[in-house]
């Protein structure tokens, strides 16, 4: 029996080994194919469709990785704007 995980994009449940695992590296999701990273991971179907959505999944990523992505993005924008002052 393999563990079952849920694709955060489409919500489909599948065997863990058939899904792609991503971890958060501080700037964005990076694939963790070798499963050598610890910490919170998010799973996604190994299909172009789901992977394409995965990187733009905003709130779903936020929830999956338990972080505030929008806060990070806003912070970066403020820094860019701030340099013009």
Q: Contact residues for Zn ion (CB under 5 A)? A: 7, 9-10, 12, 45, 50
Cβ atoms of residues 23 and 37 within 8 Å: yes
Nearer to Zn ion, 9 or 61 (CB): 9
d(CA 68, CA 50) in angstroms, rounded, equals: 21
Minimum separation from the CB atom of position 79 to Zn ion (A): 34
Nearer to Zn ion, 13 or 75 (CB): 13
Cβ atoms of residues 83 and 77 within 8 Å: no
Give the chain's count of helices (H) and strands (E). 3, 5
Nearer to Zn ion, 8 or 69 (CB): 8
Minimum separation from the CB atom of position 14 to Zn ion (A): 8
Cβ atoms of residues 9 and 57 within 8 Å: yes
């Amino acid at each position: 029996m393999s563990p079952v995980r849920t694709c955060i994009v489409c919500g489909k449940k599948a065997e863990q080994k058939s899904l792609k695992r991503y971890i958060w590296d501080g700037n964005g999701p990076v694939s963790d194919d070798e499963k050598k990273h610890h910490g919170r991971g998010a799973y996604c179907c190994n299909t172009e469709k789901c992977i394409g959505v995965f990187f733009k999944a905003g709130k779903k990523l936020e929830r999956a990785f338990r972080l505030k992505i929008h806060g990070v993005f806003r912070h970066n924008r403020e820094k860019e704007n701030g340099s013009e002052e």
